[in-house]
Amino acid sequence: MLDANDLNIFPVDAWIQDGVAWIALNLRPLFLAIKWPVEYVLNLNIFLLQEIPFLAIVAVAVLLAWRLASLGVACFSAVALVAIAALGVWSEAMTTLSLITTAIVICAAVGIPIGIGCARSDRMWGVVRPILDIMQTTPTFVYLVPVVMLFGVGTVPGEVAVVTAAAPPLIRFTNLGIRMVETEMVEAGLAFGATKRQLLWEVQLPLAVPTILGGLNQTVLTAMVMSVVVAMIGAEGLGLVVLQGLGRLDVGRAAVGGIAIVLLAMMLDRITQKLAQPGGPGGRPLLRSLRALVRSGRTADDKTVASPATSKPAISSPDQ
Amino acid sequence: MTERLRVENLYKVFSKSPDPALRMLAAGAKKADVLAKTGMVVGLNDVSLSVPSGAIYMVMGLSGSGKSTLARCINRLNEPSAGRILLDGRDIVAAGEAELRDIRRTRISMVFQHFALLPNRTVAENTEFGLKLQGVSPQARRRRAEEVLSIVGLARWGNHYPHELSGGMRQRVGLARALATDADVLIMDEAFSALDPLIRTEMQDELLRLQRTLKKTILFITHDFQEALKLGTRIAIMADGELVREGTPQSIVLEPGSDYVAAFTREVDRSRLFDARWAMTPVQPVPLAAGLCLAETGDGGGLVLDDGGHVVGALDSETLRGLRDTANFGNSGFGALRKDFVTVRECDSLLDAARAHRAGRPMAVVDEEGRLTGTLAADRILAGIAAAPPHPAGGLHA
C-alpha cells in the first residue's frame, strides 16, 4: 500500500533553505541597498513622531482629518489620540504610526510607478499580476521568514515586511484606475495630439486619482495589520505591547495594545477613505483648497475681469 | 469649392492581421461573408468620398454601419487597414507619429458624443486642452479659450466645472475645445446624439449659425436622417461598412436608389427640404410693348415685367385675351394691371410658398435681385410636397 509519506522524496525545504542562505550570502549588497532607503525614511519618521510634542501631533492630525475628511473625523481623531495617550502607549503608537507612514511613502514611491507601468503594458501586467496574487494570498506570517533570513531582525526588517505586504493593493488600484479611464477620454487626449507622456499626465493619472487613493486606503490598512505582526521579528510599536501581553499572559496589557491598534486603524481608515471619494460638494476639500491656493494669482485677474458684473448692483445701491 | 479631404478606397478590418479579410473584400465579399469565414469584423469596405472645403459633410448610417469607424480613421484613432486619406493632398494614413500628432493638433479636431470633458478641470481648462498639449503659454491659451467660449455663448462659465453644466452646455464646451486649436477640419462624432430633442435642435441651429462665419470643413457623423438633411451640404449614407448613397440632401430624397435609403427618406418633410425654385414653372418672357415683357402663367393669364425683369403687375386671362385681340397694350393695358400678385423667393421653402399662396392670385418666383424666374401654381406646390417627380426644367439647388 502506497503511503503519502513515501512520496516525500523531494527535500524542497532543504533546497529553499540552501537557496535562501546562498542569496543571503551572495546578494547581500542588494539587500543592503533595499534596506538603506527603508531605514532612512523609517528613522526619520520615528525621530519626527517621537520628538514632536503630543499636543502638536494631535493638532496636526485634527487639522489633516478636518481638511481631508470632515469635522466628524477630526473630532474622532482627537478623541482617539487622547485615548491612546491615556492608555499609556503613546510612544509605542507613534512607532507604529512611523512604520505606517514610512510604508505609505515607500509604497507610493515604488507602487504607483509599477502600477502605471502595468497599466501601459499588458506584458508587464502579465508578469506582475501573478506576483501580486502570490503576495496577497500568502499569509502575513510567511513573509517574516525570508525577511529575517535576508534582512535580519528588528524594526527596520519589520518595516521591509510591512512595505512588501502593503504595496500590492496600491499597484493593483493604480493599474485599475488608469485602465478604467473611459476610452472616450483617452481618445479625446489622442485626438488633440497628446504624446504618450501627456496622455498619462494630462488625462489618465488625474482621472485615476480617486481609484489610486482607494488603493492607498487599502495600503494603509494592510500596513496597519502588518505593523502589528512584525512584532514577532522584533519590530517595536503597539504589536510588541500585544506580544508582550501574550507572552506574560498579561491579558490587560495585550488588550491595551489591541485597543490602541483599533483606534489608530480607525482613524487612519476614516481619513484615507474620504480621500478616495470622488469630489462631490464638500468632497476632497484639501485638494480644492490646495488648488485654490495655487490659483490665487489667477483669481486676482478673474476678479478684475468680473468687476463690470459686480459693479451693476453697486449702481442700484443708492436706492436702498 | 475646393476639395479639403479625400478618402480613397478605405478599408478597415478589426484584426491584427487583416490580409485574408482584405483579399476577400477585394474579391467582392461582403461584411457578413468575411465574418463567417474569418471571424474578423469589417468596419469599412472600400469607402471613397470627397469632402469639399467649407462643407458640412454628413455621414449617416445605423449603428454598426461603420460611420464612426470612418470618422475615427480620419484622425487615425482607428488605424485604417488599407486605402488613403488625403488632407489637402497629403496622405494621413502614411503620416509618421510626429506628423500625425501635428495633424491632430493643428489640422483636425474632434467633438465627441459624450463630450469627453475632463471632470477635474474647469470649462476654461477643458477648452484650452488642445493648446496646452501644443505647449502654448498659459496666458495665450487662456485668452484663446475665453475667445472661443464667447463664440459658443459660454463667456461667463469659464471657471465652472463640467458637472455644473447641462448637456447642451457641455457639448458647447466640447465644440469650443475643438475650435480653440483653429483646426480647419472638424470631426463631430454623433455630437448631438446624446442631447434631448429640444437642445439638439438648438445646437443644430447654433452649428449652422457658427458655420456661416467659421467656414470649417465639418465631417458630421449621425444616425439621424433628419439631422443629416438639416445640417448637411452633402450626405453619405453607409450600411455594413459600405457607402451606399452619396449626394446632396435633395438628390438623395428624390432618388434614394435603394430600399435601404428609401426607408430613411419616406418620413422626410419635403415642404421644408425643397424650395420654390425646384417646384416652379420657369417662364419665357415675350415682348409685350415698349420696355415691357409678358410671362405667361399656366392659367392663361400673365405677369408683366419691366425691362429689368421685375414684375410690375399681373393680367388675368380675359384681359390678356382682349389685349391680344387688339394687339395694342397702351393705356387700357396699364389700367387693367392687377397689383395683387404674390411674390416668393426662389430659396423659400415650399412650406413658405404654401403659406404665401392666395387663391386666385398669381404667384411670382423671383431670384435674389427680384427678377422673375418662374411662376408657382397651387398644384405645383402640392405636387412638390407630395413627392412628385421633379419638373423637367426645374433645378435642384446645390
B241 with B381, same domain: the answer is: no
Q: Residue A280's closest chain B neighbor by CA?
A: B163
Return the residue in A186, A190, A192, A205 with the most chain B beta carbons within 10 A, the one to mutate for interface testing: A192
Residue of A nearest to B125 (CA): A202
Residue B184: exposed, middle, or buried by beta-carbon count in 10 A (0-12, 13-18, 19+)? buried
Residue B396 falls inside a structural domain: no
Look at residue B391 in the predicted model and tell me its pLDDT: 52
Contact A193 B101 (CB under 8 A): yes
Domain check: are B377 and B251 in the same one? no
Q: What is the pLDDT of residues A71-82, one digit of tens each?
A: 999 999 999 999
Domains in chain A: boundaries: 27-51+92-277
C-alpha angle A39-A40-A41 in degrees, rounded to nearest 5 = 95
Residue-wise DSSP of A212-239: HHHHHHHHHHHHHHHHHHGGGGT--SHH
- Residues B124 and B208 grouped into a single domain: yes
Say whether both B198 and B287 belong to one domain: no
Q: Does A193 touch chain B (CB under 8 A)?
A: yes
Q: Which whole number is the average pLDDT over B214-225? A: 93
What is the pLDDT at residue A290? Answer: 53
Q: Cβ of A194 and B133 within 8 Å?
A: yes
* A191 in contact with chain B, both atoms CB, cutoff 8 A: yes
Nearest residue, CB atoms, A192 vs list B113, B114, B133? B133
Task: Please answer yes or no on whether B120 and A206 come within 8 Å at the CB atom.
Answer: yes
The band of A315, judged by pLDDT with boundaries at 50, 70 and 90, is: very low
CA-nearest residue to B75 within chain A is A191
B218, B241, B272 — which closes off a domain? Answer: B272
Task: Looking at the complex, report in whole angstroms how far the Cα of residue A106 sits from the nearest Cα belonging to chain B.
Answer: 27
**Same domain for B117 and B132:** yes
Instruction: Quote the minimal CA–CA distance from A194 to chain B in Å.
Output: 6
CB contact under 8 A, A192 and B77: no
pLDDT for B143-165, tens place per residue?
Answer: 999 999 999 989 889 999 999 99
The alpha carbon of residue B230 and the mean position of all alpha carbons in its chain are separated, in whole angstroms, by 6
Would you say residue B7 lies in a domain? no
Interchain CB contacts (distance < 8 Å): A and B: 63
With beta carbons less than 8 A apart as the criterion, state whether A81 and A61 touch: yes
Q: Among A250-254, B353-357, B392-396, whose mean pLDDT is lowest? A: B392-396
pLDDT of the residue at B295? 85
Beta strands in B347-388 (DSSP E): 363-366, 372-375
Average pLDDT over residues A121-134: 94
Where residue B165 sits, what CATH number does that domain have? 3.40.50.300
> Could you tell me the pLDDT band of residue B356, with boundaries at 50, 70 and 90?
confident
Q: Would B81 be classed as within a structural domain?
A: no
**CATH number for B358:** 3.10.580.10
Closest chain A CA to residue B113: A184
Of B106, B114, B134, the CB nearest to A184: B114
Domain extent, residue B180, equals: 53-75+95-272
Nearest to B57 by CA among B284, B267, B249: B249
For residue B75, give the nearest of A191, A202, A207 by CB distance: A191
Asked if residue B390 is part of any domain, the answer here is no
Q: Measured between alpha carbons, how far is residue B215 from residues A268, B154, B184, B192 in Å?
A: 57, 21, 8, 19
pLDDT band for position A303 (50/70/90)?
Answer: very low
Shortest distance between the Cα of B11 and any Cα of chain A, in A, equals: 20
The HSE-up count of residue B178 (CA atoms within 13 Å, CB side) is 31
Is 0.80 topped by the overall pTM? no
Interface mutation vs chain A, best among B101, B120, B159, most A CBs within 10 Å: B120
User: How many domains in chain B?
Assistant: 2
Report which of A290, A264, A225 is spatially closest to residue A68, judged by C-alpha positions.
Answer: A290
Which A residues in the span 48-87 are in contact with B, Cβ-Cβ below 8 Å? Answer: none
Q: How confident is the model at residue A294 (pLDDT cuts 50, 70, 90)?
A: low
Same domain, yes or no: B302 and B331: yes
- Domain end residue (candidates: B230, B250, B272): B272
DSSP state of A154: S
* Domain closes at, from B223, B256, B272: B272
How far, in Å, CA of B295 to CA of B283, rounded?
Answer: 6
Task: Tell me which chain B residue has its CA closest to the CA of residue A298.
Answer: B139
**How many Å lie between the alpha carbon of B168 and the closest alpha carbon of chain A?**
18
CATH topology for A27-51+92-277 is MetI-like fold (1.10.3720)
Query: Burial of B397 by CB count in 10 Å (0-12 exposed, 13-18 middle, 19+ buried)?
Result: exposed
Provide the percentage of residues in chain A whose pLDDT is more than 90: 55
A133–chain B Cβ distance below 8 A for any pair: no
Chain B residues with beta carbon closer than 8 angstroms to that of A198: 133
B233 part of a folded domain: yes
Domain match, B224 and B141 both: yes
Check pLDDT > 80 for residue A288.
no
- pLDDT at residue B188 above 70? yes
Please give the pLDDT value at position B394.
Answer: 44
CB B70 within 8 A of CB B10: yes
Nearest to A187 among B109, B116, B159 (CB): B116
pLDDT tens figures, A23-78: 888 888 888 888 888 999 999 999 999 999 999 999 999 999 988 888 999 999 99
Does the pLDDT value for residue B257 go beyond 90? no
Q: Which of B125, B129, B188 to mutate to test the interface with A (most CBs of A within 10 A)?
A: B129
CA–CA distance, A102 with A79 (Å, rounded to integer) = 24
> Is pLDDT at B139 greater than 60 in this prediction?
yes
Note whether A192 contacts B: Cβ–Cβ < 8 A. yes
Residues B281 and B208 in one domain: no
Question: In terms of pLDDT, which residue wins out, A143 or B83?
Answer: B83
Render pLDDT for B34-57 as a digit per residue (tens, 0 to 9).
Answer: 898 888 899 999 999 999 999 999
Q: What is the pLDDT of residues B117-130, one digit of tens each?
A: 999 899 999 999 99
CB contact under 8 A, A207 and B116: no
Q: Do B112 and A182 touch (CB under 8 A)?
A: no
**pLDDT value of residue B308:** 82
**pLDDT score, position A310:** 37
- pLDDT tier for residue A295 given thresholds of 50, 70 and 90: low
| CA atoms within 13 A of residue A299's CA, in its CB half-sphere | 8
What DSSP line would sit under B273-316, residue for residue? Answer: HSBHHHHSEE---EEEETTEEEEE-TTS-EEEEETTS-EEEEE-
The conformation of residue B153, written as its DSSP 8-state character, comes to T
Q: Mind listing the pLDDT tens digit for each residue in B205-217?
A: 999 999 999 899 9
Nearest Cα to Cα of residue B304 among B282, B327, B283: B283
Give the mutation candidate from B69, B74, B101 for the A interface (greatest A CB count, under 10 A): B101
Q: Does position B132 have pLDDT exceeding 80, yes or no?
A: yes
User: How far away is chain B from the Cα of A23, in angstroms, using its nearest Cα?
Assistant: 43
Whether residue B30 is predicted with pLDDT greater than 50 in this model: the reply is yes
Minimal Cα distance from A183: which residue of B?
A: B116
In a domain, B37, yes or no: no
Q: Using an 8 Å CB-CB cutoff, list chain A residues near B103.
A: 193
CB contact under 8 A, A191 and B177: no
pLDDT band at A238 (very low <50, low <70, confident <90, very high): very high
Secondary structure letter of residue A204 according to DSSP: I
Residue with cell 469630489: A279
Q: How far apart (Å, rounded) are the C-alpha atoms in residues B357 and B349?
A: 12
C-alpha distance from B266 to closest chain A C-alpha (Å):
34
Please indicate, yes or no, if residue B43 is contained in any of the structural domains. no
* Residue A302 at interface with chain B, using a CB cutoff of 8 Å: yes
Mutation target for A interface from B133, B186, B189: give the one with most A CBs within 10 A. B133
Residue B171: per-residue pLDDT: 92
Within a domain: residue B294? Answer: yes
> Is the domain of B163 the same as that of B292?
no
Cβ of A207 within 8 Å of Cβ of B118? The answer is: yes
**B6, pLDDT greater than 60:** yes
A188 touches B: beta carbon within 8 Å: yes
Residue B26's pLDDT is what? Answer: 87
